Structure 1
Amino acid sequence: MKPLAIATAACLPLALCFLSSAPTLAESAPSSTTDVLTVATFNASLNREAPGQLLDDLTTADNAQASNVAETIQRVDPDIILINEFDYEANATAVDLFRTNYLEVPHNGAQPVSYPYSWSGSVNTGVPSGFDLDGDGSTTGPSDAWGFGKFPGQYGFVVYSKYPIKNDQVRSFQHFLWKDMPGALLPTKSDGTSWYSDEVLNAFPLSSKTHVDLPIDVDGTTIHVLAAHPTPPSFDGAEQRNKKRNFDEIRLWADYVANRADYLYDDNGAKGGLTEDANFVILGDYNSDPLDGDSYPGAIDQLLVSPQVVDTAPTSLGGTREAELQGGANLTHRTNPAYDTGDFSDDPRPGNLRIDYVLPNVGTQVEEAGVFWPTRDDELFRLTGLAPFPTSDHRLVWSKLRFPRSLTPSEPNPSTSQRETPSPSGEEPRLANSGAHSGLPGVAIGVGAGGALLLARQRARLRSRA
């Protein structure tokens, strides 16, 4: 028996060697997903009434609203953020000023945030059409611009990123004509004839601002940030010109990610949408609630129930509480108020709505998602407040995501002439921390059959009040 015992003892070091090496092998295996990315969208209401006003406000570091916007962003610390309603100007000076004078300066104990990369581009808002688009007998009002606006660039948007933007692969769809979308919901008069003449339709862009695909390199994996801000589906008559345009602006991205965009051409003339294996995240204020408000039926559901899209369903306790406290139209809403992202209590008809979205591709792991909407007893409620709002009537929406990692380099999209805002320095991006105020726990969504079931249950919760 002793030889057996000796032999067994002799084998133990070898076995222990194999056992001790196993964790090292496991640790060295590449992850199938990216590190956690915090991705956000925020209609920050940094639009102004005249050109140059935003630039003036950001030249110094003491604008109260801009400080509130910056602090809100710092509290969440996203890796990538789309800011809607940030007036565009060709030199992008305002983009740099907001970064250096506000984002990179601490506010009320919140840590500064640095974004070496950013993008802004021209938009259709405020660009005169020369036509009487709203039928009021004049061709010079803000409703007669290709997108509602008092001056070119009003209500533009900017994307800030801690990761490099692939400038030579950016695609924009600012000039894609509405009439060129197959089955477009073009508005009609009561007699069934077109609301717009052929002359108008031959120049009418679908996008009220612009739609832009920004490929971002996240440690070798490309994430396509799909940014837009469709027109509000209101302020029109029986022809429903804004409702229908909003629907088709949302449809553009639904087709783009679903291999249905053969008809679509970008501003460089290149056609088509994303490949089926592409990672993407759709961001922005889409001015459409799934069940309430003025949307054309099914508008945002083109994305929320798309087989290519994950509804991250961000929530907040503040949204629920405000719907209860404000009452009015909120009491008849069908969407769960925990999902609301906009406070429209000063207009009793729509009430508060879910209209801002962070929607990644299926296969993305959603670790947490939230709406920055503190309750009234929270110290940070000063950043959201009540009308007249100290910051914006929208709330920042964020999701913590793990995208499928690219195993091979992504094929480049057709390039475009859109510009990127110059980086202020060669500073390397840094990873986000988790200093977010969400109010309610986020929703984790799995992949495969279990994930589909959870998504279905999630959608059911979305359509019922808490």
Structure 2
Amino acid sequence: MTRSLATLLLLGFVGRTAWAADPPPPAKGVLRVATYNVALYRGRSGQLAGELRSGNSQQAKQLAEVIQRVRPDVLLLCEIDYAPQDDPPRLFAELYAAKPQAEGLTGIDYPHRFAAPVNTGEPSGLDLDRDGQTDGPADAWGYGRYPGQYGMAVLSRWPINEAATRTFQQLRWAALPDANQPHDPATDEPYYPAEVWEQLRLPSKSFWDVVAMTPVGPLHLLCSHPTPPVFDGPEDRNGCRNADEVRLLTEYAAGRLSDYFIDDQGRSGVIAADEPLVVLGDLNADPNDGDGLREAINDLIAGPRMATDPKPTSAGAVAASERLADLNADHTGDAANDTGDFGPDGHGNLRIDYALPSEDLRVVGSGVYWPKPGEEGAEAAAASDHRMVWVDVATAER
């Protein structure tokens, strides 16, 4: 596996203090923004809420411990069920994040939250996987066993301007200019019949522009969780969809395709060029390794409005890559940048979770919360197969 100088330093030439997993608090006037795939989904609707309501979910306690060690001001949670009647994000915030989860830690309050409907588990009434049925999890607008599975939520210390916040759950894939329509390689015919293709939604969960009213001004959080580019066939329908879901972030942040971006409230348009943003989410796309069409994620990282990629790192990612050397043998990316440990699935370690600021924000710190085995926080970090990614930003003039 290719190893950069940064990786070699992590492996043995940087002291423990310099690479302590728990980051120091951000300086005054600096915002810590993070994304975290918490894997808080269950096998049936309502199961997660019941578990959280008990106050005794071991997984939720460990996830909250990670949050208390990193202490982001604003946090996107991926894979937490959307269930407005039970409100799992509120239960998690109030019963777990707000209560100390380890010696020396203090709770963190997130009085402001945002969640909205997602496509996962929402029946389409169509046979999307061509198995002759229309009611399977792969026939939903986004793969899911029940509506709201694998949802998203934003937790914030600062108020959220819901009037300015936009959701794009129902964007049609076929309407995207130059869409990556999947084709059957054996026939070169479109995989989806025309009448199905015209109805398909592009976001597998949703795409949000959430506006947090921070002490340094409004901050746009571009939140999404594209489908994994696997679990399909030679037509690569999930790879095509993943690439176009990632492209949504690139086009919206760059201020392009204004007519395409009609939100769920019926408003069209894209973000203004002078409004700072951070792209957040489990994007299921690695710029160097794994499956997927890598051009899309590299276009996002190098987008015209984006700051230089902060490339967050951790020592734990390097240790995990070494532990699974056979699975990672053909990887060319720097293992220090990995954000997920997918050894049990046979995919090795990848960088697929992102916190990418726009160029009108100054990056003053970043990291992946991934302690090495035996370090404080390592057991808690293993509560999800993803690791929290965070970035500290200040306005450009600071």
Instruction: Report the TM-score, using the length of structure 2 for normalisation.
Output: 0.90
Match of 2:183 in 1: 188
Could you tell me how far apart the structure 2 residues matched to 1:85 and 1:397 are? 15
Structure 2 regions of 5+ residues with no counterpart?
A: 1-26
Corresponding residue of 1:98? 92
Contact 1:126 1:153 in 2 (8 A): yes
**Contact between 1:92 and 1:120, CA under 8 Å: does it hold in 2?**
no
Identity %: 42
Q: Identify which of 34, 45, 62 aligns with 1:40.
A: 34
- Matched residue, 2:7: none
How many angstroms does 1:39 deviate by? 0.5
User: Is 2:155 the partner of 1:163?
Assistant: no
- The Cα shift of 1:220 comes to 5.7
Deviation at 1:90, TM superposition (A): 2.1
Q: Deviations over 1:262-313 (max 9, x none)?
A: 2221112221211111100010000000011111131211211112112221
CA distance in 2 between counterparts of 1:65 and 1:205 reads 32
* Counterpart selection for 1:209 from 190, 205, 208: 205
Question: Which residue identity is paired with 1:250?
Answer: V
Q: Note if contact 2:285-2:294 (Cα within 8 Å) is conserved in structure 1.
A: no
Are positions 1:402 and 2:394 aligned together? yes
Q: In the alignment, is residue 242 of structure 1 matched against residue 238 of structure 2?
A: yes
C-alpha displacement of 1:346? 1.2
Instruction: Considering fraction of residues, name the structure with more helix.
Output: 1
- Alpha-carbon distance in structure 1 between the residues aligned to 2:379 and 2:253: 38
Read off the aligned partner of 2:211 and give its amino acid letter: P
The reply to whether residue 306 of structure 1 matches residue 303 of structure 2 is yes
Aligned amino acid, residue 351 of structure 1: G
Letter in 1 for 2:239: K
Aligned amino acid, residue 103 of structure 1: A
How far residue 229 of structure 1 moved from its aligned partner, in angstroms, is 0.3
Instruction: Provide the aligned length of Structure 1 versus Structure 2.
Output: 368
Is 1:352 the counterpart of 2:357? The answer is no
Quote the residue 1:154 is aligned against.
149
Secondary structure at the aligned position of 2:195 is classed as helix
1:123–1:156 contact (8 Å) kept in structure 2: yes
TM norm structure 1: 0.77
- 1:124 is aligned to 119
Task: Work out whether residues 85 and 157 of structure 1, in 8 Å CA contact, stay in contact via their aligned partners in 2.
Answer: yes
- The answer to whether residue 325 in structure 2 is matched with residue 330 in structure 1 is no
- Give the equivalent residue in structure 1 for 2:228: 232
Equivalent position of 1:341 in the other structure: 339
Select the structure that is richer in strand.
Answer: 2
Q: Does 1:264 align with 2:261?
A: yes
The alignment's C-alpha RMSD in Å is 1.6
Check the 8 A contact 1:250/1:300 in 2, yes or no.
yes
Deviation at 1:156, TM superposition (A): 0.1
Distance 1:90 1:135 in 2: 32
User: How far apart are residue 261 of structure 1 and its match?
Assistant: 2.1
Query: Which runs of structure 1 show a deviation greater than 6 angstroms over 4 or more consecutive aligned residues?
Result: none
C-alpha spacing 1:245/1:34, structure 2 compared with 1 (3 Å): farther
Distance 1:261 1:35 in 2: 34
- Describe the SS at the equivalent of 2:220: strand
Residue 340 of structure 2 aligns to a residue whose secondary structure is: coil
Measured after TM superposition, the shift of residue 34 of structure 1 is 8.7
SS at match of 2:354: strand
Deviation digits for residues 63-84 of structure 1 (CA, Å, limit 9, x no counterpart): 1001001111011000000010
Deviation, structure 1 residue 49:
0.7
Which of 81, 85, 91 is equivalent to 1:87? 81
Gaps of 5+ in 1: 1-32, 386-390, 406-446, 448-466
User: Rg larger in 1 or in 2?
Assistant: 1
Correspondent of 1:114 among 109, 114, 125: 109
Q: More deviation in 234-243 or 135-144?
A: 135-144
Of 368, 389, 393, 2:385 maps to 393
Question: Could you tell me which residue of structure 1 aligns to residue 21 of structure 2?
Answer: none
